[in-house]
């Protein structure tokens, strides 16, 4: 069994010093794995990802209990930028491209924490285009004028430009047509396999997430209520009834 790239142990998260949102969440992503974090709107998926990436602080959120370890080392005061440099990057829900920059300029912003040279960055840009040929076609277009699917691809491509080891991917299916969702998940899976990048995927679309993930956790009200292999969750009667829309 591969070691965990990230291990979250019993964390509590509080917003604004008073609102307790995570009430003891534990989960692990094995090195090279794809793990799905499932649950309804408001269950705490985004908060969990932000606790790992340290983006919580920008929202007056705080981990008040528990630990998060990356490669076995407990994270503490690192800034989000420090974590990007160590290989942890979050792709935010809602795509968040720089609308006035071109697609290619957006991708290049992903390399800003890197200290290696222009050659390596140019090589990685080609790597991103090999996964997303559509972005190469659209590279000189202003990102704000590209489609929702293209903006989601740009957001993932930008994350890849930081040479991540762990991508925290928040709701990539949101607002996209089913066929496009499938296409994006295929590419994410390919990136996982070919580059060995581990992925923690927050999704409300349980059905698609459990087809691409190896393992899943279900969050309800800030607690993990169930976890297991993707296959076992797909077969589970409660999961079928409450999350897969069939009984």
Counting contacts by CB under 6 A, is residue 15 touching ligand ATP? yes
Counting contacts by CB under 6 A, is residue 59 touching ligand ATP? yes
Counting contacts by CB under 6 A, is residue 47 touching ligand ATP? yes
CA-CA distance, 187 to 183, in Å (whole number)?
6
Task: Identify which range of 41-49, 70-78, 98-106, 187-195 contacts ligand ATP by CB under 6 A.
Answer: 41-49
**DSSP-based helix, strand, coil % in the chain, nearest 5:** 40, 30, 30
Q: Pattern 183-212, binding to ligand ATP, x per CB under 6 A?
A: -------------------x-x--------
In the block, residue with structure tokens 């679309």: 205
| 51-63 core/surface letters (b: 16 or more CB in 10 A; e: else) | bbbbbbeeeebeb
Minimum CB–partner distance for residue 207 and ligand ATP (Å): 16
Tell me the backbone φ, ψ of residue 96, rounded to 5 degrees: 50, 60
Q: Residues 41, 140, 179, 247: which binds ligand ATP (CB under 6 A)? A: 41
CA-CA distance, 219 to 41, in Å (whole number)?
10
CA-CA distance, 183 to 181, in Å (whole number)?
5
CA-wise closest residue to 206 among 223, 220, 221, 192 = 220
Q: Which is nearer to ligand ATP, 41 or 140 (CB)?
A: 41
Q: Residues 4, 6, 21, 38: which binds ligand ATP (CB under 6 A)? A: 21
Q: Residues 7, 28, 36, 44: which binds ligand ATP (CB under 6 A)? A: 44
Counting contacts by CB under 6 A, is residue 94 touching ligand ATP? no
Counting contacts by CB under 6 A, is residue 43 touching ligand ATP? yes
Q: Where are the alpha helices (DSSP H) in the chain?
A: 45-53, 80-86, 103-109, 118-131, 133-137, 148-160, 178-195, 206-212, 230-235, 237-242
Q: Which is nearer to ligand ATP, 18 or 118 (CB)?
A: 18
Q: Indicate the length of the chain as a whole number.
A: 247
Minimum CB–partner distance for residue 222 and ligand ATP (Å): 7
Judged by the rule CB under 6 A, the positions of this chain that interact with ligand ATP are 15-16, 19, 21, 39, 41-47, 59, 61, 93, 202, 204
């Amino acid at each position: 069994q591969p070691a965990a790239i990230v291990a979250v142990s019993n964390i509590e998260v509080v917003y604004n010093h008073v609102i307790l949102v995570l009430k003891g969440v534990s989960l692990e992503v094995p090195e090279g794995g794809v793990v799905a974090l499932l649950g309804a709107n408001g269950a705490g998926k985004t908060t969990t990802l932000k606790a790992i990436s340290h983006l919580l602080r920008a929202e007056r959120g705080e981990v008040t209990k528990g630990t998060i370890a990356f490669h076995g080392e407990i994270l503490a005061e690192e800034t989000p930028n420090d974590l990007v440099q160590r290989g942890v990057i979050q792709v935010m829900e809602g795509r968040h491209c720089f609308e006035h920059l071109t697609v290619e300029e957006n991708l290049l912003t992903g390399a800003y924490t890197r200290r290696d040279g222009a050659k390596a960055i140019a090589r990685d840009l080609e790597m991103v285009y090999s996964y997303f040929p559509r972005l190469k076609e659209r590279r000189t277009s202003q990102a704000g004028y590209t489609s929702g699917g293209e903006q989601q691809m740009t957001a993932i491509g930008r994350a890849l430009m930081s040479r991540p080891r762990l991508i925290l991917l928040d709701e990539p299916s949101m607002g996209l047509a089913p066929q496009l969702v499938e296409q994006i998940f295929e590419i994410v899976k390919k990136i996982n396999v070919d580059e060995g990048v581990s992925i923690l995927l927050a999704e409300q679309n349980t059905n698609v997430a459990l087809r691409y993930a190896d393992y899943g956790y279900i969050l309800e009200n800030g607690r993990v209520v169930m976890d297991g292999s993707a296959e076992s969750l797909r077969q589970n009667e409660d999961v079928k009834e409450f999350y897969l829309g069939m009984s």
